[in-house]
Structure 1
Amino acid sequence: MNLSELKIGEKAKIKTLDLDSDMTRRLWDLGFTKGTEIEAIQASPSGDPVAYRVRGTIFAVRKKDAMQVELWEVESHE
């Protein structure tokens, strides 16, 4: 499963990033590292980008980038 498939309210853990080196480095610097929990918080009115909570901070990620972030351990947040 990739990050773009995570539904609002779901949490998962980051498995891998498969982006170009600049974007990978940017996301690593923001805390998008292997094993880190990520939660889909809110979609923009158009549906892209989506806001995700990582390590207590909320970031907006475009769908084209989110499709390259592989996840595991999806769980519902209720």
Structure 2
Amino acid sequence: MVLINLRQMAKHQSGTIKSVKVGGELGRRIREMGLVPGTEITIQGRAPLNDPVALRVMGGTLTLRNNEADYIMVETEPED
């Protein structure tokens, strides 16, 4: 298993959130969206300029800007 931030994940790559490294209003908003440690996520796609990123989380789809994704650490399988 490899620990990377969410921004570095490739399309269709899956992983488990290990930590959210931001506090305050942004940290609260991220956690309220269900992005908490232990949550399984899959990258659905990215906009043409790679921002924002679309995530599949708990049967729904969320979008995050890259500056928000930078704070989320995800454990994934290494890509070959």
Normalized against structure 1, the TM-score is what? 0.88
Q: Does 1:13 align with 2:16?
A: yes
CA distance in 2, matches of 1:30, 1:18: 15
Q: Give the partner amino acid of 1:2.
A: N
Gap regions ≥5 residues in structure 2: none
Aligned length: 75
Alignment RMSD (CA, Å): 1.4
Q: Does 1:23 align with 2:26?
A: yes
Q: Give the partner amino acid of 1:6.
A: M
Gap regions ≥5 residues in structure 1: none
Q: Please show how residues 62-73 of structure 1 align to structure 2 within 5 Å.
A: 62-72=65-75
